[in-house]
Amino acid sequence: MALNVGVIGLGAMGAGMARTLSGKGFAVSAYDLAETARAQIAEHGIAARDSAADVIAVADIIVLSLPLARHVQETIDAAFDANAFDTGRKIFIDTSTSEASVSRQLAARLQQAGHGFLDAPVSGGPQGAASGSLSTMIGGEEEFVSTARPVLDAIAAKIIHVGPSGAGNIAKLVNNMLVACHMLTTTEAMRLSEAAGLPAEDALRVINSATGRSAISEVHFPTWVLDNSLNSGFSAGLMRKDMKLALELAQEAGCTLPVAELAARLWAPEQSGLKDSDDFMQIADLRGKVEHDGE
């Protein structure tokens, strides 16, 4: 049976996924609060609806790409109020970097009403969304993963079902916490190398064949730092949000993370000098420096 797919949230990630799904033959309906985003997606032959509830009413599988957990909560609350679930069984794929506790609550509520919810945050940026080559880590019931598999396969090249509801959120926050730390440590390593007389490009050739390598040194630095473009498509504000969520999760779990706490302070605007709207790669400007506020 052909699946009708909805996409709610048409930023760089959501719009890219909507276009990818449409290009792979799915009937796609979409919504965003911004009229300009709806107009732009309509130019690609995708049905732009007047509300999120309208999308949910006509779709079997709904992909959410929203900024915060509360936006996901509000979207589903509004859909219940609008009786959007009366048109058949729905499965949500929440690609937002969200909160495990919220995902678990939504999954329980939706399952009680006969619907499914997967927390499925993604990695790969706007380019991955546009090409269908994202990686996704999924929390939720295997039954819902199996039903949503055609849509997941269309948007992601790597799909890892981590465990029950909330597991995908936890995995994404742990991953992004490492990204935040790796960005700082790799930047400092490259600044030291250049200050001591070895160009960063040459140091990276060694690091990326040795034990100090990471995705930051293997992908981000060669792609966006060495040419000083510093434009990955992921904002400093989003990185701060993810670090905040990771530290809140640590507090809930009773886990002490002194290195992550220091990293969060270094990412703060007053330490990094970056506005929320700045690309997070700008912290790796080798012409600058990272201050450790005396620590």
Task: Residue 147: give its domain's CATH number.
Answer: 3.40.50.720
Q: Select from 163, 195, 218 the last residue of a domain.
A: 163
Predicted confidence at residue 287, as pLDDT, reads 67
Other Cβ atoms within 10 Å of 70 Cβ, number? 12
Does the structure show a pLDDT above 90 at 125?
no
Q: 3 pLDDT band (50/70/90 cuts)? A: confident
- Write the pLDDT tens digit of every residue in 223-276: 999 999 999 989 999 999 999 999 999 999 999 999 999 999 999 999 999 999
User: In this structure, what is the dihedral angle of CA atoms 170, 173, 174, 175, given to the nearest 10 degrees?
Assistant: 120
Total of domains in the chain: 2
Do 113 and 196 have their domain in common? Answer: no
Boundary (domain end) residue, out of 113, 129, 163: 163
Choose one of 163, 186, 220: the last residue of a domain.
163
Residue 290 has pLDDT above 70, yes or no: no
pLDDT at position 288 is 56
Mean pLDDT score, 30-46? 97
Q: For residue 274, what are its two tokens?
A: 């970056």
Q: Which stretch of 90-94, 104-108, 211-215, 231-235 has the lowest confidence by average pLDDT?
A: 231-235
Q: Name the residues annotated as catalytic.
A: 172
Asked if residues 5 and 21 have their Cβ atoms less than 8 Å apart, the reply is yes
271 within a domain of the structure (yes/no)? yes
Q: What letters, b where the CB count within 10 A reaches 16 and e where it falls short, cover 118-150?
A: bbbbbbbbbebbbebebbbbbbbbeebbebbeb
Domain residues for the domain of 99 are 4-163
Domain harbouring 208, CATH code = 1.10.1040.10
Per residue in 178-207, pLDDT tens? 999 999 999 999 999 999 999 999 999 999
pTM: 0.90
31 and 91 share a domain? yes
Q: Are 197 and 138 contained in the same domain?
A: no
Lowest mean pLDDT segment, chosen from 3-17, 140-154, 216-230, 274-288: 274-288
Q: Is position 289 within any domain? A: no
* Contact yes or no for 148/90 (Cβ under 8 A): no
Length of the chain: 295
Considering the domain architecture, whether residues 94 and 139 belong to the same structural domain is answered as yes
Same domain? 128 vs 192: no
Residue 66 belongs to some domain of the structure: yes
Q: For residue 40, is it within any domain?
A: yes
